[in-house]
Amino acid sequence: MKAAAFIVSCLENERVRFAFGIPGEENLELMDSLRESSVRFVLTRHEEAAAFMADVYGRLTTHAGVCLATLGPGATNLVTGVADAFLDRAPLVAITAQTNLSRVHRESHQFVDILQLFKPITKWNARIESPDTIPEIVRKAFKVAEAEKPGSTHVELPENIADEETSADPRPLPIERIPNPSPDRTNLEKAADLIQKADRPLVLAGNGVIRSGASDELRHFAEDLRIPVAHTFMGKGTMPWTSPMNLMTVGVLPRDYELAGLNESDLVICVGFDFVEYDPLSWNPLGDRRIVHIDSLPAEISVHYVPDVEVVGEIRESLRVLRGHVRRPRESTWALQSRERVLKQLESELGERPRGVLKPQQVLWELRDILGSDDLLISDVGAHKLWLGRFFRTIKPNTVIISNGLSAMGIAVPGGIAAKLADPDRRVVTLSGDGGFLMSVHELETAKRERTATVNLVFRDGGLGSIRWKQMAKFGRSVGTGFDNPDLVRLAEAFGIRGFRVEHASELSSVLSEALQANVPTVVDIPVDYSDNPFIGRRS
């Protein structure tokens, strides 16, 4: 068997369903072996989109998404998506080709050192230098990518190795999914004691809660012990927004924590919380807060994050045991007051509804009533993401996908395709600004070809909304942020899919319902009024 064919057997062994990418001359063998395999190759129109697809597929399924590219420019095009998976903790395995090993020590056509390039944006990477190493390298790539905290790994397959014969009867290594270890009892007791004694404990929940399937347990913990929960962007869905203990999303603005009462709390219980989303400096500027750290891994080091105790291990189990240990019925007045303050603030930011005008906060508020509780919403990056973080009311875990580690524009449209391939029965909506949308617009062709009927909403403001707003706030003028747009409805039609335009706020619901019912990918052009951007988080 050729090495390339054996790699494909190893991917099958890992139960890989899709490989997203663009082939090149140096991976002809690998591509040919994929033809007859159970791994379906999904051709994308840009490698960056392939990596975003693998990233979102990995987040939703917990199995590493796979993206494929050739050497040189194919591999360099993967970088943003691979880096996104790295910082957003999404399991992803990138496989790139490389030139014949006899040429890598000198200047050669299309050769750049991809191993070095990918080192800082992956948890681990390796070159296959002999067919004998394939079972170990492929197994390790998947194991490392999927282990807490998940992220990207990278395997490089040089052209000449792909062509080599393996030993007589090569076999992939068996897969073992290892559960996170149980938390240490002494630390659990110490944490329980701190929580018991605190007057105003508050949970700061991050994406780790969702990744470890601990959302229900967190809800029981919070509601039984009457401890309010504020969550990060990527923690949206850890608690249903209707829970009386939910203080909604923090991290939208630097001083959000005051609104949620984090500054008044005498014990911050960080659960599955990740610095990449919300720097502790923002909510613990003096570094003097009492902190309980509950996560699958020990805490990262920061002078603004010095936990009194670290409960490390399976998050669900930690919360369950703690709930049993902390018995004192707690007064819920403070928690309820904090929630009331948050809801009042949101209401004031929602503001009056001027006739016809499409305000981002109102669109996102209304979107909750249009979408079902299991439908998936994927955000791109920009002002719309901040509005979404604040105003889209989430009910269940894994129903909102946001890039908030790398925060990479362009993820939403390809992410939608991957989500639909992962679960074709699910309704998938993406939201982009007109900047990010045009960064990945070419993937509408992939969506059409793959028949992934996603609804792609675009907040159109003719510019890089969030950067324009920050420039105006700092200098009172803006530069390099305005552009012209094509007609988005006609653009969609040119791709052979359907385009809609919402002209008036009153049409939003009917247009979206029609788009959701269409059995093809759609683009919905929403000319948004961003004049409230400077006031996000300000009105009261």
Ligand X SMILES: Cc1ncc(C[n+]2csc(CCOP(=O)(O)OP(=O)(O)O)c2C)c(N)n1
Write out the residues near ligand X by the rule CB under 6 A: 381-384, 407-410, 433-436, 459, 461, 464-467
Min dist. Cβ of residue 439 to ligand X (A): 7
Alpha helix stretches (DSSP H) within 476-507: 488-494
Determine contact, residues 82/118, Cβ cutoff 8 Å. yes
Beta strands in 387-530 (DSSP E): 400-401, 428-433, 455-460, 498-501, 522-527
Min dist. Cβ of residue 193 to ligand X (A): 43
Between 311 and 383, whose beta carbon lies closer to ligand X?
383
The structure tokens 């998050």 sit at 315
Between 52 and 221, whose beta carbon lies closer to ligand X?
52
For residue 519, what are its two tokens? 């059995």
d(CA 8, CA 51): 19
Collapsing DSSP states into helix, strand and coil, what is residue 308? coil
Min dist. Cβ of residue 49 to ligand X (A): 12
Between 72 and 527, whose beta carbon lies closer to ligand X?
527
Min dist. Cβ of residue 427 to ligand X (A): 23
Min dist. Cβ of residue 152 to ligand X (A): 17
Would you tell me how many other CB atoms lie within 10 Å of the CB of residue 242?
8
For residue 131, what are its two tokens? 């067919």
d(CA 234, CA 230): 12
Between 459 and 495, whose beta carbon lies closer to ligand X?
459
Min dist. Cβ of residue 394 to ligand X (A): 19
Determine contact, residues 409/439, Cβ cutoff 8 Å. yes
DSSP 394: -
Position with the least CB separation from ligand X: 433
Q: What are the backbone dihedrals phi and psi of residue 483, each rounded to the nearest 5 degrees, phi first?
A: -150, 170
Collapsing DSSP states into helix, strand and coil, what is residue 176? coil
Between 77 and 166, whose beta carbon lies closer to ligand X?
77
Determine contact, residues 336/244, Cβ cutoff 8 Å. yes
Between 22 and 408, whose beta carbon lies closer to ligand X?
408
Between 138 and 441, whose beta carbon lies closer to ligand X?
441
Bond from prior residue into 149 cis (ω within 30 degrees of 0): yes
Determine contact, residues 297/149, Cβ cutoff 8 Å. yes
Collapsing DSSP states into helix, strand and coil, what is residue 24? coil
Between 343 and 467, whose beta carbon lies closer to ligand X?
467
Determine contact, residues 22/69, Cβ cutoff 8 Å. yes
Min dist. Cβ of residue 482 to ligand X (A): 10
Between 122 and 533, whose beta carbon lies closer to ligand X?
533
d(CA 283, CA 230): 12
Sequence-ordered list of residues with C-beta below 8 angstroms from that of 237, at least 6 positions apart, any chain: 210, 215, 394, 395, 396, 397, 398, 399, 400
Between 425 and 484, whose beta carbon lies closer to ligand X?
484
Beta bridge partner(s), residue 459: 433, 526
Min dist. Cβ of residue 219 to ligand X (A): 31
% helix / strand / coil in the chain, to the nearest 5? 45, 15, 40
Between 131 and 410, whose beta carbon lies closer to ligand X?
410
Min dist. Cβ of residue 26 to ligand X (A): 27
For residue 159, what are its two tokens? 């052209």
Min dist. Cβ of residue 207 to ligand X (A): 18
Min dist. Cβ of residue 51 to ligand X (A): 12
Min dist. Cβ of residue 470 to ligand X (A): 9
d(CA 42, CA 20): 5
Between 91 and 465, whose beta carbon lies closer to ligand X?
465
Min dist. Cβ of residue 48 to ligand X (A): 9
Between 381 and 402, whose beta carbon lies closer to ligand X?
381
Determine contact, residues 151/92, Cβ cutoff 8 Å. yes
Between 79 and 222, whose beta carbon lies closer to ligand X?
79
Among 434, 396, 386, 390, residue whose Cα is nearest residue 413 = 434
| Distance, C-alpha 7 to centroid of its chain | 28
Beta bridge partner(s), residue 379: 431
Q: Which uninterrupted H or E stretch holds 368?
A: helix 360-370
For residue 30, what are its two tokens? 């690998």
Min dist. Cβ of residue 437 to ligand X (A): 7
